[in-house]
Structure formats: structure tokens, C-alpha cells
Amino acid sequence: MFHAGSRILPLALALLCLPCFQVQPQAGPDKPKSAVLISNRSRSDLVGVRFVQPQGVSLSKLDLAPGMEEELENPGGEAELRLDLGLELCTYRKVALDGLKTLTLCPDHRGCIVLKGEAGAPAHLAGECASLLPQPGETPVCALDKFRPGMTMRDACGLISAAYRADDSAYVTSLGYAGLVWSARLYAGGSQAGGDATSERLEDIELRQTLTPEHLAAVRAELARQDFVPWQATLPGMEIDFADMGYAGPGDREALLKACLDLFLKSGKGEASVMFAPQALLPELATADAPREDVYLFTLMLRRDSGTLLLDMAAYTGEEPRD
């Protein structure tokens, strides 16, 4: 159920934390399960971790900001390790997993990880890193405005032809929006490992670029051009529900948000999130449990710690009866 008020933004942000997809190996003798602690001490977001082995692929979507950590199941054996850092992908060809207890992303060296087992000295590994951002002058394979609510992954990927890379249940490509070319990820809703994700609905699109005042201004201008207005905002120590501010006009709300974001950008740390909805929908969102039509809702995230600007477009299926 889609609830109005302060519960909406956490729900939208939760769309980014999709379940972990695992391709299970063929049945065999059970092995004792162990865990490995993934610690992100780098200056990048850790979006996902993949263990690639002959018997299958284990993918976990984490979205760990710098300084965060999380435990994952250790598949054991030897694997090619792939770390999705949002704006780049780092690959480590042969990583011994048996007995591995901690995997730490280094704070000072690009592509460096530190592996520590139950005994012995920590081991440092350097990976092969490739940028996921488009090169200067590169054109996007598709524009974001071509996507529509209710579109299947087959239809969406048909728009971008063969220019995307399939990575389990995510499709990585480059999309154009607000006059910028973004590193983009497309996610299917409800797809499971081994299933046909192309028949699922396109549920979520993530766009990532570097966080600069110019990029932020371009995105806000484009959202305004599309008649998307601020709905809710969460900043360190502050939450704003614009749907409840009937006493303030659109200009007043924009001025308030700009002042808050400018102050946040000067702070140099933390994360701010702003959710945008169609302007015509805002009065309904102040009183109704759910929109009565299929819509996309945008969430703009400013991540100072990793220097990332993230724009998330999530599909929501309304409750309007269909013919």
C-alpha cells in the first residue's frame, strides 16, 4: 500500500534496496555456511558484489555508502570478484574465499581491497577498474523520457537495442537526461534468478553522475520542465513534506528547497534525498493512500561522501480500475 505523509519517502528509497539475486549451483553435498564482512572504507558507494564461479553467480545488491559494512554469505572456493562502485566496476580475477572473514575496500588506493582470513596477515589485492561513466562527447543510447509506466523489460531493452549489458537482473547502459549522459541501471520488478526478467515490468531505473552544482541544477530544471515538483525531502536533521504545505506557493517551496540543498552542499558530508511527483498529483498525495494512475516517481539523492548524484525513477502502479 502506498501511504501519504512521512512514510512515503522511506518506501521509495527502499526501492533501491532490491533483494539479493543468487544463481544456485546444482544440488550437491551441503557445506557449512560462513559469512564474510564487507566493509566499505573507500570514497565510493558500493552498489553490488558478485562472486562468479563455474557452478554459478552470487549477486548481492548492497548500496553501501562510504563507512558502511554488511555481512554476506561466503560461497567458498575460488571466485572472480566484481565490485560495482556506482561510477566504476572493479574486477579481481582469482580470489580465494575459503576461510575469508573480512573484505575491506581501501580508503586511499583506487581498486585496492584487503582480505583477512582466520589466520595469517591481511592480503592486499589490486583490481582492474573501468569507469561506468560515459566518455566525454559520448552520446546516450536512449533518452529517459522514452520510458513509460507499465513497460516490460523486453520493451525497455528494445529501446536501447543491443547497447546494454545484462548483469543478472540488472541491465547497465547509458541514458540521456537533463542534457547529461548518465551511467544507468534498469531493474525488473519481481524477477528471480534463472527466470525470464525480460517478461517482467520495468520497475526501477537508477541514473548516476558526479555530484556538481551544475549537474544538480540541470536535473532540477528538467524535472520542473516536466511538471515534477518536490514532494518530500530528507536532509540531515530535517524532513519536509511539501504536500502538507498548502499555505506555500510553488515558488516558496522551490526557494525553501534550494536554500536547504545549498546549505547541505556546503556541509561536505552526508546524504540528502528529494522525492518529486507530478504537480497535478500533489494535492491527491496529501489526502489519498495511493495514486489512481500509473506513474513514475523520481527520487534525487545527493551523496557528499562519494560525490555521487543519483536519480532514481521508480514505477508505481496506481489503483484506478482498468478497462
203-250 per-position pLDDT tens digit: 778 899 999 999 999 999 999 998 999 999 999 999 998 888 878 887
Q: Are residues 141 and 86 in the same domain?
A: no
Angle at 247 between CA 245 and CA 249, to 5 degrees: 85
Flag whether pLDDT at 133 surpasses 60.
yes
Do 125 and 238 fall within a single domain? no
The pLDDT of 29-48, averaged and rounded, is 84
Residue at 21 is within a domain: no
Does residue 147 fall inside a structural domain? Answer: yes
- Same domain, yes or no, for 242 and 97? no
257-297 confidence digits (pLDDT tens): 999 999 999 887 889 999 998 888 887 877 765 566 777 78
Radius of gyration of the chain, Cα coordinates, nearest whole angstrom: 21
308's grid cell: 555521487
Same domain, 76 and 219: no
140 and 127 within one domain: no
Tell me if 311 is assigned to some domain: yes
Tell me how far apart the alpha carbons of residues 92 and 131 are, in angstroms, rounded to a whole number. Answer: 15
Identity of the residue numbered 162: A
For residue 49, being part of any structural domain is answered with yes
Interval 116-130 mean pLDDT? 91
103 with 150, same domain? Answer: no
pLDDT > 80? residue 144: no
Q: What does the longest C-alpha to C-alpha distance in the chain come to?
A: 66
One domain for residues 107 and 159: no
- Among 103, 131, 159, residue at a domain's last position: 131
CB atoms within 10 A of CB 238: 11
Same domain, 150 and 176: yes
What span, in angstroms and rounded, lies between the C-alpha atoms of 302 and 239?
Answer: 15
Is residue 19 pLDDT above 50, yes or no? no
- What domain count does the chain have? 2
Could you tell me the pLDDT band of residue 153, with boundaries at 50, 70 and 90?
Answer: low
Residue 22 has pLDDT above 60, yes or no: no
Is pLDDT of 28 > 60?
no
pTM: 0.75
41 in the same domain as 95:
yes
Q: Where does a domain end: 98, 131, 164? A: 131
Same domain, 89 and 139: no
- The answer to whether residue 62 sits within a structural domain is yes
User: Is 293 domain-assigned?
Assistant: yes
Domain shared by 166 and 276, yes or no: yes
Q: State the distance between the two ends of the chain, measured CA to CA, in whole angstroms.
A: 22
Number of alpha helices (DSSP H) and beta strands (DSSP E) in the chain: 5, 21
> Can you tell me the distance from the alpha carbon of 87 to that of 54, in angstroms, rounded to the nearest whole number?
27
Q: Is residue 25 in a domain?
A: no
Say whether pLDDT at 163 is over 50.
no
If asked whether residues 75 and 103 sit together in one domain, one would say: yes
The pLDDT of residue 113 is: 96
For 244-288, the DSSP string reads G-TTS-HHHHHHHHHHHHHHHHHH-SSEEEEEEEEGGGHHHHHH-
Q: Is residue 28 part of a domain?
A: no
Mean pLDDT, the chain, as a whole number?
78
- 57 has a pLDDT exceeding 80: yes
Q: Which domain holds residue 48?
A: 35-131
Q: Between residues 192 and 107, which one has the greater pLDDT?
A: 107
The reported pLDDT for the residue numbered 214 is 94
Of 114, 131, 148, which marks where a domain is finished? 131
Question: Considering only CA atoms, which of 130, 115, 185, 134 is closest in space to residue 156?
Answer: 185
Place of cell 529501446: 159
Please determine, for residue 164, whether its predicted confidence score (pLDDT) is greater than 70.
Answer: no
pLDDT (mean) for 85-96: 92
| pLDDT of 63 above 80 | yes
